[in-house]
Chain A
Amino acid sequence: MTPFLTMWDAESRLGGRLVLDATDVLVETGEFVAVVGPNGAGKSSLIRAFAGLLPVTGGIVRLKGDDIRTLSPRERAERVAYLPQERRIAWNLPAIEVAALGAPFLAVEAAHERALKALAEIEAAHLADRGVAEMSGGERARVLLARAFATNAQALLVDEPIAGLDPDAQLMVLERLRARADAGQAVLASLHDLPLAARFAHRVLVMEHGRVAADAAPPQALTPEILQRVFGLSAQWIDGPDGPLLSAGRRHSPPDGSTTEPPGA
């Protein structure tokens, strides 16, 4: 395993607000790292910085050892594939054409072959000829993930890949991402579902106000203290038959620590 995605002391602002603040992140090949955190904690910013979409004003972002700013668009695309949260597709293209956009440098037949394989991997081969405007949101999300898979990039940067999917599809997508990591890709995925993050990721990165609050194997990263401090949850882990389960309640206080009395107390 070698460090593939590295970010050191990164700082970035969006509209005056620090979205990355002295952030250090390292993802190795063959590793599935889940980024978790409350809304606005900087998960998407972290992923977008690795995709080259969010410039960092301080620190450095490297892909496979090279400063991201020195790479050409094509070199960058060979190293990282990016799946944004936004799932709008402008035109009613058939799924296979959307997935084939992952391989824009291949001849049409080869690109279609790659696209079909990626659709099959995500159990969406039956959608190949269907127009994306005639699909449900979840089906469209899977087609877009197939596009990211079809790139064959060395790292996958996926922003909330399971949002809006049915429970079975959520498990399937996380299984595939884990399988891709086990096969040697570096996978960085933002997730809101903590039990699923704990179950599938090798490592969990907890973001809070643009900083890394915890970075460790799931049980060490998602401790009750972190869950309380970062997420405002009073929670504990329970062993379930298929993996860890989270029993959680609201702490009745904002995460910044200023305690308010629960109503009726």
Chain B
Amino acid sequence: MSGAAGRLILILALAIAAATALAVLFGESAFDAGQLAQAFTDPSSGPAEVLWAVRAPRAVTALMVGAALGLSGAVMQGLLRNPLADPGVLGVSALAALGAALAIVLGWAALPGAVEVAALAGAGLAGGLLVLFSARVRSPEALILFGVAVSSFAGAATALIFNLSPSPIATAEVMGWLLGSVENRSWIDVAWVSPAVLASAALSAFAAPGLRMLSLGEETARTSGLPMARLRLMALLAAALATGAAVAVAGVIGFVGLAAPHLVRTAVRGDPGRLLLPSALAGGLMLVLADLLARMTPTDQELKLGVFTALVGAPLFALIAWRAAREWRL
């Protein structure tokens, strides 16, 4: 690990700690110093309830979801050797959302874990399709087009579900969830998403040498001596697992997976293996901050996190793309 990358990881970790603390301390109901002190001393008090049962799990959920998206984006960009790859662009989020929407409409939401598993299955299906396609077609541009097609199809199928759904309540539920949010998430949600993110991190750490070797292209990687078939499968599982978990818990949140790897790529000098951890941290930081800002923005209806990240993320990403364009012209 080079000095710059080590420093970056440290800075990101400190920033995450600070952002999480802010997210716990600040919110819609403003507390004075006495109330805050009460929250730390009296666990049964109102302020303690707000801080530890509402804001803290929400902030940690945002952190885990952001980390999952940042990790998944970094893995996909490395796997597909494409700086435009991300769970949103390639249709992984859209298929995960379709899976979850189906589960909700079919009334499985009452079964614990059914929606989550459906989202994971959708993400896994998308991952499998991408691997099949990328094994046959080498051009990165074609892969993006394929992802866009998958994404549109899943979007249309989700719209069809709205269209045919007999129950307006289910429709509203799916709709609210598609917009992406970590509102009212509890420690149970944290317990759901965390193991998936950790498992994904472990898988991608194993796959990292394969991602690095893929920088040289498919054929060189296949002759490098590394067990590429296995590493590629692990990377894919990692990306699908992280995306599926993120979508299952927080709905569809765009741009984090696309932007997080770009924010930290220069510090690791492009290395797709060393990019994974900083990208996950950057994604987590982005989402904790975004959720804090979305909560603090004075609107009648609370801003949905997915709407907020897209509003802020899209222009930001355009800026990054403009600056990074030089490196893509290889």
Q: A89-B215, A133-B326 are in contact. Are A77 and B223 (CB under 8 A)?
A: yes
Give the distance in Å from the alpha carbon of A182 to the alpha carbon of B24 in the complex.
69
Interface-side segment among B184-192, B264-272, B294-302, B309-317: B264-272
Q: A133-B326, A133-B330 are in contact. Are A105 and B225 (CB under 8 A)?
A: yes
Inside 8 A of A132's CB, which chain B residues have their CB?
A: 330
Shortest Cβ gap from B269 to chain A (Å): 6
Determine if A104 and B213 form an interchain contact, defined as CB atoms under 8 angstroms apart.
yes
| Contact count band on B | 20 to 34
- Chain A residues 124-144 with CB under 8 Å of chain B are 131-133, 144
Shortest Cβ gap from B12 to chain A (Å): 20
Give the distance in Å from the alpha carbon of A48 to the alpha carbon of B270 in the complex.
28
Determine if A104 and B209 form an interchain contact, defined as CB atoms under 8 angstroms apart.
yes
Determine if B327 and A133 form an interchain contact, defined as CB atoms under 8 angstroms apart.
yes
Inside 8 A of B304's CB, which chain A residues have their CB?
A: none
The reply on B45 being an interface residue by CB < 8 A is: no
Give the distance in Å from the alpha carbon of A133 to the alpha carbon of B325 in the complex.
11
Determine if A90 and B269 form an interchain contact, defined as CB atoms under 8 angstroms apart.
no
Determine if A101 and B270 form an interchain contact, defined as CB atoms under 8 angstroms apart.
no
The reply on B130 being an interface residue by CB < 8 A is: no
Determine if A101 and B224 form an interchain contact, defined as CB atoms under 8 angstroms apart.
yes
Identify which of B81, B209, B224, B226 contacts A90 (C-beta below 8 A): B81
Determine if A91 and B272 form an interchain contact, defined as CB atoms under 8 angstroms apart.
yes
The reply on B219 being an interface residue by CB < 8 A is: yes
The reply on B113 being an interface residue by CB < 8 A is: no
Kindly report which residue of chain A lies nearest to residue B328, judged by CB atoms.
A133
Q: A104-B225, A133-B330 are in contact. Are A94 and B269 (CB under 8 A)?
A: yes
Determine if A52 and B223 form an interchain contact, defined as CB atoms under 8 angstroms apart.
yes
Determine if B214 and A90 form an interchain contact, defined as CB atoms under 8 angstroms apart.
yes
Determine if B269 and A53 form an interchain contact, defined as CB atoms under 8 angstroms apart.
no
Determine if A92 and B216 form an interchain contact, defined as CB atoms under 8 angstroms apart.
no
Q: Is the interface of A mostly helix, strand, loop or mixed?
A: mixed
Determine if A97 and B226 form an interchain contact, defined as CB atoms under 8 angstroms apart.
no
Kindly report which residue of chain A lies nearest to residue B269, judged by CB atoms.
A94
Binary contact readout A76-99 vs B (1 if CB under 8 angstroms, 0 otherwise)? 111011111010111111100110
- Chain B residues 236-275 with CB under 8 Å of chain A are 265, 269-272
Kindly report which residue of chain B lies nearest to residue A148, judged by CB atoms.
B220
The reply on B107 being an interface residue by CB < 8 A is: no
Shortest Cβ gap from B30 to chain A (Å): 46
The reply on A118 being an interface residue by CB < 8 A is: no
The reply on B217 being an interface residue by CB < 8 A is: yes
Give the distance in Å from the alpha carbon of A76 to the alpha carbon of B227 in the complex.
11
Inside 8 A of A89's CB, which chain B residues have their CB?
A: 215-217, 330
Inside 8 A of B215's CB, which chain A residues have their CB?
A: 89-91, 93, 98, 101
Identify which of B212, B222, B269 contacts A101 (C-beta below 8 A): B212
The reply on B98 being an interface residue by CB < 8 A is: no
Inside 8 A of B144's CB, which chain A residues have their CB?
A: none
Determine if B269 and A92 form an interchain contact, defined as CB atoms under 8 angstroms apart.
yes
Give the distance in Å from the alpha carbon of A132 to the alpha carbon of B269 in the complex.
10
- Chain A residues 37-68 with CB under 8 Å of chain B are 48, 51-53
Determine if A77 and B225 form an interchain contact, defined as CB atoms under 8 angstroms apart.
yes
Shortest Cβ gap from B82 to chain A (Å): 8
- Chain B residues 272-329 with CB under 8 Å of chain A are 272, 326-327
**Beyond A51-B223, A53-B223, A90-B272, 8 extra complex contacts between A and B, CB < 8 Å:** A82-B220, A89-B215, A90-B82, A90-B216, A91-B271, A91-B272, A104-B224, A133-B330
